[in-house]
Amino acid sequence: MRLLIFNQKTDLTDSGLGVAIDWITAFSRCVEKVYVITHEAGVVPTLPSVKILSIGKEKGYGRIQRFLEFYRLLLSTLSRNQIDGCFVHMVPIFAVLASPILKWKHIPMVQWYAHKETPWSLRVAHRLVNRIVTASKESFRLPSQKVVVTGHGIDTDRFIPPKQLNKLNKPFTILSVGRISPIKRYEILLKAVALVHKAGKECKVLLVGGTRTKRDEEYLQHLQMEVEQLKLGSYIQFVGPIPRHEVLYWYWKADIFVNLSDTDSVDKAVLEAMSCGLPSITSNISFQFMPRDVIQELLVPKGDVSALAKAIIRVSEWDPDYREQVCRRLRQIVIDQHDLNHFVHKVIQLFNCK
C-alpha cells in the first residue's frame, strides 16, 4: 500500500504537534511507501520509506503561494506514484482542497479529527471523506455514521514507566504538559497548590509547553502574576516548549499529572502520562471510561479548587503498593484502548474496506 498523508506541522522539535511524526513512522512500518504533504516542516526524520513535502509556511510563503504549492505537490505526487489511500491528520481544509482530484482518481480519504470545535471546513470535509476517525465519541461533535472510534494512537513502546513506580519526589511533583492557553485553566491548579501548601503539604509544579498566539502570551503573563500573588514563586516552574523526544523524561520527573483542559474530549497528554504509569487527575468527563474506583480518586469537578487540592493530597498519601497497582492499571488501559500500533492497523483496515 502507498499512503498519502496531509499534515499540519511535521517537526521533531515540536512538543505538541510532533506527535504526527510518531504516526508517520508507525504507518511507514506497515505500508510500502508514505508521502507526506505538510503545511509546515521543521526538523524531520530520515525514514527510507517516507517522503516529506512542505507547502512552505516555514519558508514564509503567503496563503496564495501555499495554496498553489499544495496543488503542485499533490498533482506531482499523484502523477508519479500509485496512491492507494489518503489520511488527513486534522486540517480538514486539506481534505476539501484535495477532494475533487482524489475522487477523480478513486482514492479514498480518511480524516482524523479530535477537537470540540466544528469549523465550516470540517463540516464540508465530513461530507467528502470516506471515514472519520477519532479518539473517543466525545472527540468528534458532528452527528455522523462515518465516524470510527480508534483510540488516540499513543506510542506505548516509547511512553513507558520508570523503573520505580512507587518512589516519590521531595517535594511532591505535579506535571502538566501542553500549550500554555486559557483552555488549560492553569489558574485553578495554581490556587489548588496554594491550598495544598496551607494544609501543610509541600509540592511543586512543572508546566511544560509554550505559547502560540498573542492571547496565549497574555495568559502566560496572567499566570506569572498569579504565582507572585500566591507567593508560589519557588514552587512553580514554567519549563517552556521542549523537543518531542524529551517529553518522556518530564513524565518520569513527576509524581502526578494534572489536566484541567475544558475540552470534554480525551486528551492525548493525559494518555501519555497514564502510559508512563503516572497517576492523572483530570476534570475531563470523557475519562469516565476509567474503572470506577480510579475515577473516584482522580476525577474532580470542573473549576473546583478545593476538590483538586484534596485529590492532590490524597494521591500524595497513597500507600506505595496501592500506587503501583493503580499506575499499572492506568497503563494497561492505554495499551488496550489507545495503542499506536492498534490505531494504525485500524486505519489501514478502513482503506482495505473501501
What does residue 221 show for φ and ψ, rounded to 5 degrees? -60, -40
Q: What is the CA radius of gyration of the chain?
A: 21
Spatial contact of 340 and 153, defined as CB atoms under 8 Å apart: yes
Q: What is the architecture, at CATH level 2, of domain 2-153+339-352?
A: 3-Layer(aba) Sandwich (3.40)
Q: Which residues contact 274 (CB under 8 A, 6 or more apart)?
A: 257, 280, 330, 331, 333, 334
The amino acid sitting at 152 is H
Which pLDDT score is estimated for 354? 57
Collapsing DSSP states into helix, strand and coil, what is residue 7?
strand
Structural class in CATH, domain 172-337: alpha beta
Q: Which residue has the cell 523503573?
A: 163
322, three cell numbers: 496501592
Whether 197 and 168 have beta carbons less than 8 Å apart is answered as: no
Q: How many residues does the chain have?
A: 354
Closest CA to 201 of 210, 192, 211: 192
Mean pLDDT, consecutive 10-residue segments, the chain of 354 residues? 96 84 95 97 92 96 97 97 96 97 97 92 97 92 94 95 83 95 95 97 95 95 97 96 91 95 83 95 82 85 95 95 93 95 96 75
Q: Give the pTM.
A: 0.91
**Domains 2-153+339-352 and 172-337 equal at CATH topology level:** yes
- Domain coordinates of the chain in residue numbers? 2-153+339-352, 172-337
The confidence score (pLDDT) of residue 331 equals 95
Strand order in the sheet with 85-89: 50-54, 33-41, 2-10, 85-89, 109-112, 131-134, 147-149
Q: Amino acid identity of 33?
A: K
Query: Given this model, what pLDDT does residue 296 score?
Result: 85
Give CA–CA dist 225/231, Å, rounded: 10
pLDDT of residue 288: 75
Query: What span, in angstroms and rounded, lies between the C-alpha atoms of 194 and 232?
Result: 7
What is the rounded CA–CA span in Å between residue 41 and residue 138? Answer: 30
Angle at CA of residue 284, ends 261 and 322, nearest 5°: 115
